[in-house]
Chains A and B, each alone.
Chain A
Amino acid sequence: MLELRLVQGSLLKKVLDAIKDLVTDANFDCSESGFSLQAMDSSHVALVALLLRSDGFEHYRCDRNLSMGMNLTNMSKMLKCAGNDDIITIKADDGGDSVTFMFESPSQDKVSDFEMKLMDIDSEHLGIPETEYHAIVKMPSAEFARICRDLSTIGDTVVISVSKDGVKFSTSGDIGSANVVCRQNNSVDNKDNETVIEMNEPVSLTFALRYLNSFTKATTLSNTVTLSMSKELPVVVEYKIAEIGHIRFYLAPKIED
């Protein structure tokens, strides 16, 4: 028996919006510690890892570990039927072939339930080791989204370089080239507006902008984003989900032929 009640149901709606274009089908894993997902895009270039910790739910009952295969397009269709202020409860029976999403309006005067068929998904789980990254950049998520969007109008790839001077995003294409440099700044008024760079070693990596732009659909989940980079390793683009968990995107770099 599984019963997870999330008072801020809009978070789940936003999570689905953030990942449904990157991944079509995914297994949601439910355990004592939380509700999680790890899935790769079809070309095995990008990976999304979601964690919603059990203590972030108002009610969390998971009698045994359960993996539920869901089509994210269909799940998103159902969650779109929930109001932004609704409380969402996810229910499933052990060994059942469906999951139920229950939506309650804040005043409790409207209750809906949507049952969705589960599917068997043969997904490949990757073992991602804990890594000490050479450089970690924390910046406003809207700023990162703006840079990725702007640069993708010029080129297909971006070189992200972190040095003691700041973080530089560079691209080039048929019409020309562009560089955006964000320097470390400390905002007294609002920590969310800060750009903070922790660097042990300078790093420069090349990534496909198409994927980074897809990750920025998670911008609504968090005011800040963290980019963790090491030489010759995938970048980790992390959005914290208030008080409850995180969504992390891993993107393999491009290398020169």
Chain B
Amino acid sequence: MSQQQSLFSFYSRG
């Protein structure tokens, strides 16, 4: 199974 990543794991909240 693969798990969906969130964009927050890659980009900072700005």
| A250–B2 CB distance below 8 A | no
Of A8-16, A17-25, A40-48, A50-58, the one touching chain B: A40-48
| B5–A255 CB distance below 8 A | yes
| B12–A126 CB distance below 8 A | yes
A-B contacts counted at CB < 8 A amount to 55
| B7–A127 CB distance below 8 A | no
Interfacial residues, chain A to chain B (CB-CB below 8 A) = 40, 43-47, 124-129, 157, 206, 208, 233-234, 250, 252-257
Partner of A252, one of B1, B9, B12, B14: B9
Q: What are the residues of chain B within 8 A of A45 when measuring CB–CB?
A: 4-7
Q: What are the residues of chain B within 8 A of A127 when measuring CB–CB?
A: 11-14
| B4–A254 CB distance below 8 A | yes
| B6–A252 CB distance below 8 A | yes
In the bound complex, what is the Cα–Cα distance between A179 and B9 (angstroms)?
29
Q: What are the residues of chain A within 8 A of B5 when measuring CB–CB?
A: 45, 252-255
| B7–A47 CB distance below 8 A | yes
B11 nearest CB across to chain A (Å): 4
